[in-house]
């Protein structure tokens, strides 16, 4: 039965972590996966998380099943974060939220749900997009296409090309948009451009699916999430996947959510019942621990403030690393202009390094994605010179 099964290719991102883990060089550096490391090279366990966990240990509770849609306090806190506390869509009970296994789990629930209720739609993702977007929607049974997005010459967005792509899509197409901190390019739309995208989505009768995995890593929590409210105000259906992997440094806890906006409370109740079916047939119900931690932090004022401060700390350190990278590369590789790295936002830089150059970096035990995406959040004051020297050498 299994004799003819081929070896699957390594995952383009997590496969790099596998290769990195197998590397015995103590000076190895992983700029592949989107994980934030502190200046000491460690993945932080945030203070707000530690405090919430300490409280949970004081109030030890049994681990019965959560409802299929997740912990009510978590889903409420997520809605308030994503749509804004007191927003009309929450008050009118038009938004439904299900706790999901990270951002990936949220996307998968959304994809399976859409396949059930809009089976003939095609899906459009940005060119380029996060490697897993295509695979996730294809595995749900969709045909996945690209819309124009990145301009390698300017290192920014080819906005006219993007609008043109949006205007050519058939009504009912599903368009996957990165709410902030575009992965992999780090090139985001301006507020003005978002307005035009929202208009094109509305005019074209498209189904917008916002992926928000990096809220707080761009300009700030509210600023990065503002686009969600703008889509809600424009009316029409909307799906939003969000993740706390990065913003809470809870990668391994798989904690995220899918929110769907309906046109009425009655429609929302029906949507939720169908989302629950999708969850039930995928993994039944989500895990308890991480939902409790995030719900407690988001809804306890002191912990919430601590989280916002800690997230701001991560955001600022990444920006400092961008600055340092640009300055150091200007000295070590004066023939190439890397000033664009300063303009990019979020964890990543689409560095412009070729696959071959990435391969040469790997020989020095520096790991990046084949597309040239590097995780700036993995740079620190101790490893940056090694990285800069290696990049200068391979250019």
- Mind telling me the catalytic residues? 130, 211, 246
Residue 13 binds to ligand LMR (criterion: CB under 6 A): yes
CB nearer to ligand LMR: give 33 or 177.
33
By CB under 6 A, is residue 132 in contact with ligand LMR? Answer: yes
Q: How far apart are CA 279 and CA 68, in angstroms?
A: 7
d(CA 244, CA 210): 15
- Rank residues 34 and 237 by Cβ distance to ligand LMR and give the closer one: 34
Closest contact distance (angstroms) between CB of 10 and ligand LMR is 13
Q: Which C-beta is closer to ligand LMR: that of 33 or that of 176?
A: 33
Least distance between ligand LMR and beta carbon 217 (Å)? 12
Instruction: Count other Cβ atoms within 10 Å, centred on residue 261.
Output: 23
Residue listed under structure tokens 């240990």: 57
Task: Considering the complex, state which of residue 37 and residue 169 has its C-beta at the smaller distance from ligand LMR.
Answer: 37
Taking the C-alpha atoms of residue 360 and residue 394, their distance in angstroms, rounded to an integer, is: 6
130 forms part of the interface with ligand LMR (CB under 6 A): yes
In 3D, which of 307, 290, 308 has the Cα closest to residue 48? 307
Burial class (CB in 10 A: 0-12, 13-18, 19+), 291: buried
Q: Does 377 bind ligand LMR (CB under 6 A)?
A: no
Using rule CB under 6 A, residue 166 touches ligand LMR: no
Number of H helices, E strands in the chain: 15, 13
101 versus 169: smaller Cβ distance to ligand LMR: 101
> Between residue 175 and residue 204, which ones bind ligand LMR under the rule CB under 6 A?
183
**Which residue of the chain is nearest ligand LMR when measured via CB?**
34
* Token output for 122: 């095609």
What is the rounded distance in angstroms from the CA atom of residue 300 to the CA atom of residue 2?
52
Size of the site for ligand LMR (CB under 6 A): 7
Give the Cα separation of 192 and 185 in Å (integer): 19
User: Which positions ≥6 away from 365 have C-beta within 8 Å?
Assistant: 23, 25, 27, 28, 29
**Measured between alpha carbons, how far is 71 from 39 in angstroms, rounded to an integer?**
34
- Structure-token pair, residue 255: 């904690």
34 near ligand LMR, judged by CB under 6 A? yes
Which is nearest to 344 in space by CA: 192, 222, 218, 213? 218
3-state secondary structure of 87: coil
Name the minimum Å distance from CB 13 to ligand LMR: 4
Minimum distance from residue 49 beta carbon to ligand LMR (Å): 19
Estimate to the nearest angstrom the gap between the alpha carbon of 172 and the chain centroid.
24
Smallest distance, Å, CB 243 to ligand LMR? 8
Q: How far is the CB of 34 from ligand LMR (least distance, A)?
A: 3
Choosing from 31, 33, 48, 82, the residue that interacts with ligand LMR (CB under 6 A) is 33
- When the beta carbons of 262 and 348 are compared against ligand LMR, the nearer one is 348
Which x/- pattern, by CB under 6 A, does the window 234-273 give for ligand LMR? ----------------------------------------
**Mask: binding to ligand LMR, 80-119, rule CB under 6 A, as x and -?**
----------------------------------------
Binding residues for ligand LMR, rule: CB under 6 A, are 13, 33-34, 130, 132, 183, 213
């Amino acid at each position: 039965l299994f004799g003819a099964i081929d070896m699957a290719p390594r995952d383009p991102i997590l496969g790099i972590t596998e290769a990195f883990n197998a590397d015995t060089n103590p000076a190895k550096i992983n700029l592949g996966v989107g994980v934030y490391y502190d200046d000491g090279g460690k993945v932080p366990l945030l203070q707000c998380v530690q405090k919430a966990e300490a409280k949970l240990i004081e109030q030890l509770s049994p681990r019965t099943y959560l409802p299929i849609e997740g912990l009510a306090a978590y889903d409420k806190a997520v809605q308030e974060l994503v749509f804004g506390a007191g927003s009309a869509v929450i008050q009118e009970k038009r938004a439904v939220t299900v706790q999901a296994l990270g951002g990936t789990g949220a996307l998968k629930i959304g994809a399976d749900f859409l396949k059930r209720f809009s089976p003939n739609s095609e899906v459009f993702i940005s060119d380029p997009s996060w490697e897993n977007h295509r695979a996730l929607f294809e595995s749900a049974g969709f045909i996945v296409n690209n819309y124009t997005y990145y301009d390698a010459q300017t290192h920014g967005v080819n906005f006219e090309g993007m609008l043109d792509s949006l205007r050519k899509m058939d009504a009912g197409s599903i368009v996957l948009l990165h709410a902030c901190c575009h992965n992999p390019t780090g090139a985001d739309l301006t507020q003005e451009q978002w307005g035009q995208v929202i208009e094109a989505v509305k005019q074209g009768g498209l189904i917008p699916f916002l992926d928000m995995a990096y809220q707080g890593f761009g300009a700030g929590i509210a600023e990065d999430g503002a686009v969600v409210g703008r889509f809600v105000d424009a009316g029409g259906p909307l799906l939003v996947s969000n993740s706390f992997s990065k913003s809470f440094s809870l990668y391994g806890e798989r904690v995220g959510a899918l929110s769907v906006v309906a046109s009425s409370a009655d429609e929302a109740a029906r949507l939720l019942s169908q989302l629950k079916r999708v969850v039930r047939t995928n993994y039944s119900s989500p895990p308890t621990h991480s939902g409790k931690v995030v719900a407690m932090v988001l809804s306890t004022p002191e912990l919430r403030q601590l989280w916002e401060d800690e997230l701001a700390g991560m955001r600022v350190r990444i920006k400092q690393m961008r600055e340092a990278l640009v300055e150091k590369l200007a000295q070590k590789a004066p023939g190439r202009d890397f000033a664009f790295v300063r303009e990019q936002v979020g964890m990543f830089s689409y560095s412009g390094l070729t696959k071959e150059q990435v391969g040469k970096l790997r020989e020095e035990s520096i790991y990046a994605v084949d597309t040239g995406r590097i995780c700036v959040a993995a740079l620190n004051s101790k490893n940056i010179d090694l990285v800069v020297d290696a990049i200068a050498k391979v250019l």
